[in-house]
Amino acid sequence: MNPPRYLILCFHVFLILALSRVTFTQSMPIQSNVVKDSADEGMATSGPAHGLYLKVQTDKSVKTSKLRLGDVVEGTLVQPVYSGDRELFTFGDRVRLVVARVERRRKPANDHWPWVITVFAPRHENYPLFDCASVLPPNGKEVRLNVSLLSIVRAKEIHADAHASPAPRTTDLIATLEATETISAPEANDGARKTPMTLSAGTRAKVILLGNLSASKSRPGDMFQARLVEPVHVGESVALPEGTLLEGKVERNKPPRWLSRAGSLLVTFTGLKLPDGSHARPIMASISGAEIDQRSHTKIDPEGQLHGERPGKLWMVVNGGVTAGIAKEVDDGTQLAIEALISTATDVSTAGTARIVGLCASSVFMLTRHGRDVVLPKFSELEVTFDRPVQLGAELESQ
């Protein structure tokens, strides 16, 4: 027995309204989330972080959602660990982590997939937390550190220099941690930094962001901070120790737009603060590289501006499939509505009108699809290039 026409009509109307609701939600900004993110960024940029920065590549591929209390994760340092101008651990040192607890966290925003996929994907994920790490130098004694996990992700590197050889994609997890220093070591040589010296244009530095940046939520004039994770040298001398803060500003942004046009974001660095609180004169520096999620679709142009890439085949196939589904549902729903209202109407007489309505609805949906966002989450690692010389040392102390 076939269901009554009015029941079929109600089903189609419900489906169309559900799709419209999702589309409207995707098109409108969620103000509460914006406010929350802004508050988080303000907290993140309130002052320098004083812990050690550790970056560990796991020995094997690990699914973070499957980690449980007490599980052991082992790996190696993928870059040296510094405190001020001292190197405490070297590249390749072994690291052992034990999962202290597992939290349920909301997934961060991303530009990996079109909304059609993300709207049906889980909003939360299991997130492992560590509270201690054991570092095992090849010829030294095991060192235990109190740590907190900043991020854990499969990452890749992007560069502004088109001629730079692209870094291979990372297949294992990269865990970024902050540790409380528990090592006795010689004090940093502060006198060396008081010697006048000049950072030449083109000098590069490695930093981590202390707040979130994105093309969709950041606005021109927004301020942010980044922390130096490796000392910057002039010859044999340390010009900028690890822990130096770089202050930056959003110059311009373009949120993702209709017709699947991607967003873009340009930021510059305008000042720096040494760990002792002293300031240098204003600087001019830009992003020349970044480490981002392996699934992210972002590139950097020679100016240092980040762009979302154009939609790929999968992006178009997914949105095209949804467009065809909307056209079909609106077509059938329109026919049922007309036949329910006009007793003399038939499938043949309403087919043309219904097809036009379905085509219009699907066209509106396709035209209003936004492109990819540019997302730099908190604790993203960036490569910064100084665009102008910077005077440091005795001149710095006089300001």
Residues facing residue 74 across a β-bridge: 96
- pLDDT at residue 235, as a whole number: 87
* Amino acid at residue number 381: E
**Per-residue pLDDT, 329:** 73
Assigned CATH topology for domain 45-311+371-397:
Lipocalin (2.40.128)
Where, residue-wise, is CATH 2.40.128.260 in the chain?
A: 45-311+371-397
Residue 222, judged by CB atoms within 10 A of its CB (0-12, 13-18, 19+), counts as middle
- Distance separating alpha carbons of residues 379 and 293, to the nearest angstrom: 12
pLDDT by position in tens, the chain (length 399): 444 544 444 444 444 444 444 443 343 343 333 333 333 433 333 334 468 999 999 887 778 888 889 899 999 999 999 988 889 999 999 999 999 999 888 877 666 666 666 667 777 888 889 989 999 988 778 899 999 988 888 888 888 875 554 544 455 788 899 997 655 444 445 444 567 888 899 999 999 999 999 998 999 999 999 999 999 998 888 889 999 999 999 999 999 887 778 889 999 999 988 887 776 678 999 999 999 888 888 899 988 899 988 776 666 677 677 777 777 777 677 767 776 777 666 666 667 777 777 777 767 766 767 788 888 999 999 999 999 998 887 544 444
- The pairing of strands 197-199 and 174-180 is unpaired
pLDDT at 368: 67
State whether residue 99 is helix, strand or coil.
strand
Instruction: For CA atoms 177, 180, 185, 186, give the dihedral sign.
Output: positive
At 153 the pLDDT is 84
